Structure 1
Amino acid sequence: MGLADHHLAEGELRIRTFHPHWKRLVIPFIALVLIILGSGAAIFFMPAFEYDGYARIAVAVISVGLLTVWSFAPYLQWKNTTYVLTSHRLSISKGVLNKSNEDIPMSKVNTVSADQTLVERMFGSGTLNVESAGEQGHVTLRDIPSIQEVRAELFRAVDEALDEEP
């Protein structure tokens, strides 16, 4: 979820919660299918010999290791990267074992820009660049789904935050 409701300030409204675009999972999914097919074929077509049981176990252990590194870990990274846009801030939460959170107050946002390659335009995703008056000053968020909608909602939230300031 990224930012629990009890962590919202009084009067703060959740506008949108999202993960990076699903296209980040295409290569891990292809790896999953190829590893399962390859290990299944290796186990099935392995000739019978004195230590074939150990060889099949070795293939299975190597396959599990490859699945963990090339499919499961990227999925966990994708699933545990969450962007939450609220009426007061943009919250970025990353990490599986170690969690890092970054909040950009809407009142500090100076510039918002979006970049899209041809492939990203076909998928409706893109890169969102947010410049703020904070310590880091510039945050680049890659593979944002529905980039134009997110950008428009971010602009609206920034305008509302600026209107509320005294």
Structure 2
Amino acid sequence: MSETTFADIDEQQKNIVKPLIRSQLKKGEKILLITRQHWIKLLLPFIAWLLVVVMMFVFLPSTIAFVITFVSALYPLNLFLGWKNNLWAVTNMRIIDESGFISRYSKESPLEKINNVEYDQSPWGRMFGYGDVEIQTAAEMGDTTYRLIHHPRLLKNTITQAQEDYKHVQIANQANQLANAIKASMPAGSTMSVAGEIEKLFSLYQKGAITQEEYIGQKNKLLSNK
């Protein structure tokens, strides 16, 4: 099976409803994906409630059955509102987990704290498009497993791609800061030489010609010889 590209992710997102999250976005933060649990989470509880309603109309007077049905309808309504307001958002900086209708709950996992992302789908999950996603982080919350997620592979690929992009942005910022610091602290002739070499190294890293370890090693070597 071919690996999903970020272009594929963008194409798949067109078919997913994107509700608004309640969390305030940071400066420069962009939403890459918003998803929730699959509708199948509501199926069994709704069927169980419906069977109870049918049994009441069979064994109880219709007036009593109507009253009990009206009151008990709060149960599936509460399930639906809980499902609708339980969202996971992936941005270019973090993962946001929101839930709650009346009382609200929110937590986040910064991208730099995420060590690994895995997803698992049963045969039924592959058929209907749901599965579990496990996120392993270095933060205090530890590992988190999201159950019955709609499009689990899409969520996993979006997170890993966001991590790669975030890493490139951070390295680019560090390279620019170092170049600016060198230009500010060295004579004009040597400044252009070292800063230019660092910029060339970063360009090679962006093109994939050298690894991150090679880029950092060569950069440190240039700085130590300045």
* TM-score for both structures, normalised by structure 1: 0.80
Give the equivalent residue in structure 2 for 1:147. 152
Return structure 1 stretches of 4+ with deviation > 4 angstroms. Answer: 35-43
2:31 corresponds to 1:14: yes
Shift of 1:23: 0.8
Structure with more strand by fraction:
1
CA distance in 2, matches of 1:146, 1:9: 26
93 and 99 in structure 1: CA distance in 2 versus 1, 3 angstrom threshold: same
2:9 corresponds to 1:3: no
Report SS of the residue matched to 2:27.
coil
CA distance in 1, matches of 2:137, 2:168: 17
Report SS of the residue matched to 1:101.
strand
Identity among equivalent pairs (%): 25
Q: Could you list the runs of 5+ residues in structure 2 that have no partner in the other structure? A: 1-18, 175-226
CA distance in 2, matches of 1:15, 1:37: 44
Report SS of the residue matched to 2:73.
helix
| Stretch of structure 1 that moved more, 31-40 or 112-121 | 31-40
Does 1 or 2 have the higher relative contact order (CA < 8 Å, sep 6+)? 1
CA distance in 2, matches of 1:34, 1:64: 15
Aligned residues: 153
CA distance in 2, matches of 1:161, 1:3: 21
Shift of 1:160: 1.2
Give the equivalent residue in structure 1 for 2:162. 157
Give the equivalent residue in structure 2 for 1:74. 79
Shift of 1:142: 0.7
Cα RMSD over matched residues? 2.2
Alignment of 1:24-63 (within 5 A): 24-31=41-48, 33-35=50-52, 37-39=54-56, 46=61, 56=63, 58-63=64-69
Shift of 1:155: 0.6
CA distance in 1, matches of 2:88, 2:115: 19
Deviations 1:106-162 (A, max 9, x none): 111111011112211211211110011111111111111111111111110011112
Larger radius of gyration: 2
Deviations 1:82-109 (A, max 9, x none): 1111111110001122211011111111
Q: Could you list the runs of 5+ residues in structure 1 that have no partner in the other structure? A: 47-54
Structure with more helix by fraction:
2
Alignment of 1:86-125 (within 5 A): 86-125=91-130
Deviations 1:17-49 (A, max 9, x none): 122111112124324544554555567xx4xxx
* TM-score for both structures, normalised by structure 2: 0.61
